[in-house]
Chain A
Amino acid sequence: NAGVTQTPKFQVLKTGQSMTLQCAQDMNHNSMYWYRQDPGMGLRLIYYSASEGTTDKGEVPNGYNVSRLNKREFSLRLESAAPSQTSVYFCASSWTGRDTEAFFGQGTRLTVV
């Protein structure tokens, strides 16, 4: 069972470069999420998608864009990377119900130099 798959697992970018983080889930979930995790900060929501074709900003959306390509895939794009975007990025998915749990990918460790 693949669950939530993120690529790549590691990435080093130079300031100003762009890249797209890919995420795919095989659980037929409606909702998908992108979080970033920084030391001592827990997980902060960047963007989420409640269903195919819809996306909404989370707590820290600046500097990011997302695309819900289809029900399975939700990508996160950094148009012009900055050192402040050095972080570990997690994709997650869930059903959209009252008492549902989130399933997480393994994370992408991004360093911007």
Chain B
Amino acid sequence: SQQGEEDPQALSIQEGENATMNCSYKTSINNLQWYRQNSGRGLVHLILIRSNEREKHSGRLRVTLDTSKKSSSLLITASRAADTASYFCARAGWGKFQFGAGTQVVVTP
């Protein structure tokens, strides 16, 4: 069973729009991470947010964490066609990573 559950399962937007996806988890975390997977490739780490942080930014990425609701969100601003990929959250810490089922994002030009 996955510890992280992403919502929505799929998202289709146009270039320039923002993409928001959510992740819920069941148990306590050390940190929560987001990864991107391009078609046919391995996962690539995007951003990590610690359990005592509420918001973090990296370029066009914004991640929030609400530990009281056991949820996180990833916002990609000003989407580009190159952002087309699957995005996974992972509950992580001390060498353990538990991934959700992912959100498939398609950005059309």
Contact = CB atoms under 8 A, between A and B. Distances in A.
A9 to B, nearest CB: 10
Contacts of B45: 101-103
B25 interface: no
Interface string A71-112: 000000000000000000010101111111111111100000
Of A30, A31, A35, A43, most buried by chain B (CB within 10 Å of CB) is: A43
Contact of B100 (A4, A33, A42): A42
B42 A106 contact: yes
Contact of B97 (A94, A98, A107): A94
Contact of B43 (A41, A48, A90): A90
Interface size bracket, A side? 20 to 34
B80 interface: no
Interface string B36-56: 000011111100101000000
B33 to A, nearest CB: 6
A107 B98 contact: no
B30 interface: yes
Interface core residue of B48, B94, B95 (most chain A CB under 10 Å): B95
Interface of A: 4, 30-31, 33, 35, 40-45, 48, 50, 59, 90, 92, 94-107
